[in-house]
């Protein structure tokens, strides 16, 4: 009971995102369904099973994601502000550390806007090279918990390709990510250090972030080249434009100069008794047309990697440590997919022209205005579902990090790998919430608005009903 009360206290802050109280109550029940359904990934149907609702509540939950009464921009802004209150963010000077990456959610629906043929780059043999699905770009906040525990709290995730509304729109995925990050920074009114993988090592993205006072830490490709700063001659300057670049150097050649490297204990999260060798050098990167800091790392287990940062004040070991935390967003994706089902929506559009297997972007610049509005409405439904998934996952992390003892006290199931010295995972927290759900619904002190919905749509004895159906 206390676990759900703590959970509900955090959710009440999101009330201004809903124009009506009934919308807010149904949003609470959808968040309860996401947080407590654990491995049941059958979309809105799984909410019904967790909550024990009758079938007539299905359309109410489904309509929530399509309703304009739930303001997508407003709930995103409220969640961003709430994250700074619930968690202790990792900072580098005055800057907050954010993580960014892309996610491909498999979808086979022929009448789902934004579904297209996507290429997957992965070393996992179980993943096909090409799939049909939605392409998301997500941003998470790096936070710290007890001890050296760190986590990536999901902030926002949006579909950034698959639908083209104007043939004059020449924005790339990197441009859209930059716009998404700048919107997050505007709500916070804080400067950000973005940590991302090698895909985001782009001069255009760096220029966009630097223009607004933000910085980028990413991984450079193995074949990258850079330039030494040009030598300033003390003699009289020659005619013509001054030199912008000095001697051209290959990072691979710099990595082969063993005498230039230093040794230090690995600051990477999870490394124990590991010594790595690194070298730091400031070079001009032509893509960014400015001086950036390169760090070459020889790791005894992970090989050689090249890091670059637009912030020249970052120490080499600090860059290595921060980039090691980038994997936290990958772990967050796994929890969102397999525990919360944040991307397990199944919203069809009956009037949509069916797409073909292997089709690319859907171009709508010649479609009717009503058809385009219907596409936008369905895309917003996807975004509302995913945004509520970000909120639900963040609430689980809030309970796990800030109220870990309370979670362990509500644990009613056996797990072989339980370690009470560490915060519980999202899965363990979800199991604890699900075990305490009947007590929460039966409590007399429950909010009257929640009680009204429960009395109208929930079976009086869901456990007995299930037993009778099984018999």
Write out the chain's pLDDT in tens, 471 residues.
Answer: 788 999 999 999 999 999 999 999 999 999 999 998 877 778 888 888 888 888 888 899 999 999 999 999 999 999 999 999 999 999 999 999 999 999 999 888 889 998 999 988 766 666 788 889 999 999 999 999 887 789 999 999 999 998 898 888 888 999 999 999 999 999 999 999 999 999 999 989 999 999 999 999 999 988 889 888 887 665 566 677 777 888 899 999 999 888 899 999 999 888 888 899 999 999 999 888 889 999 999 998 888 999 999 999 999 999 999 999 999 999 999 999 988 989 999 898 888 888 888 888 888 888 899 999 999 999 999 999 999 999 999 999 999 999 988 888 888 777 777 777 788 889 899 999 998 888 888 887 788 888 888 888 887 655 434 444 444
Please give the Cα distance from 171 to 214 (Å, whole number).
20
pLDDT for res 365: 84
Half-sphere exposure of 96 (CA within 13 A, CB side): 26
pLDDT for res 233: 60
Count Cβ atoms below 10 Å from residue 268 Cβ, excluding itself: 21
Q: What phi and psi, each to the nearest 5 degrees, are found at residue 443?
A: -70, 145
Tokens for 245? 């670049």
- Residue 290 CB contacts under 8 Å (≥ 6 apart), including other chains: 206, 210, 284, 310
Residue spans of the domains in the chain: they are 2-196+329-414+423-457, 199-229+244-325
pLDDT for res 466: 41
Sort residue 95 into left (φ over 0), alpha (ψ -120 to 50) or beta: beta
pLDDT for res 462: 53
Classified as helix, coil or strand, 236 is coil
Place of tokens 């490394």: 271
Which residue in 190, 174, 213, 205 sits closest to 141, CA to CA?
A: 190
Classified as helix, coil or strand, 439 is helix
Tokens for 83? 């994250």
Point out which residues pair with 293 in neighbouring strands: 282, 309
8 Å CB contact between 140 and 356? no
Tokens for 420? 């009470």
- Residue 270 CB contacts under 8 Å (≥ 6 apart), including other chains: 324
Which residue in 168, 188, 176, 89 sits closest to 138, CA to CA?
A: 176
Radius of gyration, CA atoms only, the chain: 25
Tens digit of each residue's pLDDT (9 = 90 or more) over 133-182: 999 999 999 999 887 789 999 999 999 998 898 888 888 999 999 999 99
8 Å CB contact between 308 and 201? yes
Place of tokens 């990595």: 255
Which residue in 386, 445, 450 sits closest to 107, CA to CA?
A: 386
Tens digit of each residue's pLDDT (9 = 90 or more) over 5-15: 999 999 999 99
Which residue in 333, 406, 348, 342 sits closest to 37, CA to CA?
A: 342
Tokens for 415? 């797990």
Which residue in 65, 107, 102, 43 sits closest to 355, CA to CA?
A: 107
| DSSP codes joined into one string, 160-222 | -SSEES-TT----HHHHHHHHHHHHHHHHT--EEEE--GGG--HHHHHHHHHTT-EEEEEE-T
Please give the Cα distance from 394 to 89 (Å, whole number).
13
* Percent of the chain as helix, strand, coil, to the nearest 5: 45, 20, 35
Tokens for 347? 């919203």
- Residue 238 CB contacts under 8 Å (≥ 6 apart), including other chains: none
């Amino acid at each position: 009971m206390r676990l759900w009360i703590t959970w509900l206290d955090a959710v009440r802050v999101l009330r201004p995102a809903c124009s009506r109280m009934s919308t807010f109550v149904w949003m609470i029940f959808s968040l309860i369904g996401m947080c407590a359904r654990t491995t049941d990934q059958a979309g809105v149907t799984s909410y019904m099973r967790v909550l024990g609702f009758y079938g007539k509540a299905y359309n109410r939950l489904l309509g929530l994601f399509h309703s304009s009464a739930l303001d997508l921009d407003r709930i995103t802004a409220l969640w961003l502000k709430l994250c700074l209150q619930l968690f202790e963010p990792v900072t580098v000077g005055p800057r907050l550390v954010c993580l960014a990456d892309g996610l491909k959610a498999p979808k086979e629906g022929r009448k789902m806007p934004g579904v297209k043929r996507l290429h997957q780059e992965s070393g996992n043999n179980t993943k096909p090279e090409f799939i049909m699905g939605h392409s998301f770009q997500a941003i998470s906040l790096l936070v710290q918990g007890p001890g050296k525990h760190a986590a990536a709290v999901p902030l926002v995730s949006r579909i950034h390709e698959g639908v083209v509304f104007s043939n004059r729109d020449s924005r790339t995925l990197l441009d859209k990510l930059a716009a998404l990050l700048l919107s997050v920074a505007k709500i916070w009114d804080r400067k950000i250090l973005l940590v991302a993988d090698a895909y985001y090592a782009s001069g255009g993205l760096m220029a966009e972030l630097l223009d607004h006072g933000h910085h980028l830490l990413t991984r450079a490709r193995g074949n990258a080249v850079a330039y030494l700063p040009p030598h300033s001659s003390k003699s009289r300057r020659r005619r013509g434009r001054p030199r912008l670049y000095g001697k051209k150097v290959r990072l691979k050649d710099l990595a082969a100069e063993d005498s230039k490297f230093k040794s230090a204990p690995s600051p990477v999260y999870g490394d124990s008794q590991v010594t790595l060798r690194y070298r730091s050098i400031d070079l001009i990167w032509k893509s960014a047309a400015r001086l950036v800091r390169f760090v070459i790392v020889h790791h005894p287990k992970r090989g050689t990697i090249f890091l670059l940062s637009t912030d020249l004040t970052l120490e080499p070991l600090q860059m290595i440590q921060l980039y090691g935390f980038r994997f936290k967003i990958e772990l967050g994706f796994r929890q969102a997919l397999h525990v919360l089902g944040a991307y397990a929506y199944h919203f069809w559009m009956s009037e949509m022209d069916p797409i073909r297997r292997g089709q690319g972007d859907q171009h709508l610049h010649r479609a009717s205005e009503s058809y385009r509005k219907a596409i936008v409405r369905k895309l917003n439904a996807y975004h509302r579902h995913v945004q509520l998934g970000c909120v639900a996952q963040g609430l689980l992390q809030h309970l796990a990090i800030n109220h870990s003892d309370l979670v362990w006290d509500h644990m009613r199931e056996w797990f072989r790998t339980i370690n009470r010295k560490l915060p519980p995972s999202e899965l363990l927290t979800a199991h604890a919430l699900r075990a305490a759900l009947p007590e929460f619904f039966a409590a007399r002190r429950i909010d009257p608005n929640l009680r009204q919905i429960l009395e109208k749509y929930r079976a009086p004895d869901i456990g007995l009903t299930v037993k009778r159906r099984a018999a």
